[in-house]
Homo-oligomer: A and B are copies of this chain.
Amino acid sequence: MTSPFPFLAIILEVAIIALFGLFVGDEQDQNNYQQPNSTKSTAVDGFLELYPLFQDVHVMIFVGFGFLMTFLKKYGFSSVGINLLIAALGLQWGTLVQGFLHSRGEKIHVGIKNMINADFSTATVLISFGAVLGKISPCQMLIMTIIEIAVFAANEHLVTEVFMASDIGASMTIHAFGAYFGLAVAGVLYRPGLRRGHDNNESMYHSDLFAMIGTLFLWIFWPSFNSALAEAGDKQHWAIVNTYFSLAACVLTAYAFSSLVGHRGKLDMVHIQNATLAGGVAVGTCADMAIHPYISMIIGSIAGMVSVLGFKFVTPLFATKLRIHDTCGVHSLHGLPGVIGGLAGIGAVALEVSNRSTPAMQAAALGSSIGTAVVGGLITGLILKIPICGQPPDENCFDDSVFWEVPRWREQDVRFHEHDGHNQLEPEF
């Protein structure tokens, strides 16, 4: 049977192009639309000024998330490849969905903030992708991308426009949302056959190094993620400074607790790849508030610790008790730290560090994000069970060769061996 994947991809792209033709304004108009602030020189009308932050976020989405998931020894092509696919689809679809919600009937005009928001909306799907990594087909991921971004945009609209809650770094609307959505999907798609693990569901030495490329670019550019949409000026600077220190503090506790819970005090790459980022997640909600750097560092320290403990104790528990198998441990990287972020936001507002919102509204935002995610994820999981797009069978999970032409491993190695002798003995220039 031919896979429906290529047809679905083409249909989605054609539909999106048609919707862009209908609902996105042309660039001549956009023009006039963006120029009210024309007293500033064109050079600093906001587009080029935020463009470096956008590019940082762009690197996080495509290199950061993509390589972070290459830790599996035989699933690197899919990790980085399907990541690219769903992010490319997601940013187009996100531009439309968020545009519909904000343009109130007018044409959508694409400025730098729309591009940042579009990239953000894909982050949600990429987080959820981590929960189901290795157990889902590209075709299923296309469907999940379309649904999840729509639900995300609805919740984000509710949080920011109705509850008027603060969540500049999207601890709640992206991280907690993406994690719990993914966990709900993973729960519905649970495979009893993998209860005892799977030979391919582990890393090898070099796949762990590839994953560190992802970790580091996420870590480095996280201050841009948390500040890209902040109010220009002090708030944006605070968002950068708070995230910078929260992440740094988080690294220390993540290493410490990884060693503490490890066999003979050894560090675990899973923790280093993931828990070192929890500080960026947890400081997100109150990143642009004047919370003082030492508070950011406390938030980051707690997040690093909780995340490691989550990976060590909670993620396995989810698999055995709740029948939710979370491949990348997104619950420990995005879920728990996202909740910490939401709670910190409630605290900050309660202590009147910021008075843009109320504790109740912040709590409503957190509840709404988790609730919508769980309900949305459960429904999405049921839709993905409809056997149109074909899931990989249990024995082929975590294996690129189901979807990709994969070069052979060993035969090449042997060939290297023979050539090696040759090369070492008779080099020529």
Contact = CB atoms under 8 A, between A and B. Distances in A.
Nearest to A251: B88
Contact of A56 (B5, B10, B55, B209): B55
A90 to B, nearest CB: 9
Given A17-B294, A209-B76, A402 B428 contact: yes
Given A44-B41, A45-B233, A49-B48, A428 B396 contact: yes
B265 A407 contact: no
Contacts of A219: 62, 84
Interface string A253-276: 101110110111111110010001
A234 to B, nearest CB: 5
Given A238-B27, A257-B6, A420-B409, A298 B263 contact: no
B205 A407 contact: yes
Contacts of A405: 262-263, 266-269
Interface in A202-249: 202-206, 208-210, 212-213, 216-217, 219-221, 224, 232-234, 236-238, 240-241, 244-245, 247-249
Interface in A71-105: 73-74, 76-77, 80-81, 84-85, 88-89, 91-92
Interface string A33-56: 010000011111111110111011
Nearest to A28: B290
A47 B241 CA distance: 11
B21 A248 contact: no
B402 A420 contact: no
In terms of DSSP, what is the predominant structure of the interface of chain A? helix
A245 B92 contact: yes
A12 interface: yes
A383 interface: no
B17 A427 contact: no
A404 interface: yes
Q: What's the interface size class on A, roughly?
A: 35 or more
A416 B74 contact: yes
A153 to B, nearest CB: 17
A37 B272 CA distance: 41
A423 interface: yes
A355 interface: no
A266 B403 contact: yes
B290 A27 contact: yes
B267 A403 contact: yes
A361 interface: no
A360 interface: no
A51 to B, nearest CB: 7
A168 interface: no
A47 B3 contact: no
Given A208-B77, A290-B26, A392-B428, A91 B20 contact: no
A126 interface: no
Nearest to A416: B409
Given A41-B44, A92-B245, A92-B249, A259 B3 contact: yes
Contacts of A49: 43-44, 48
A199 B55 CA distance: 39
Interface string A402-429: 1111111111110111011001100111
Given A9-B252, A88-B247, A263-B405, 15 more contacts: A6-B255, A7-B256, A17-B301, A21-B292, A27-B238, A27-B292, A34-B237, A51-B52, A59-B220, A62-B219, A88-B249, A92-B249, A205-B407, A213-B213, A269-B405
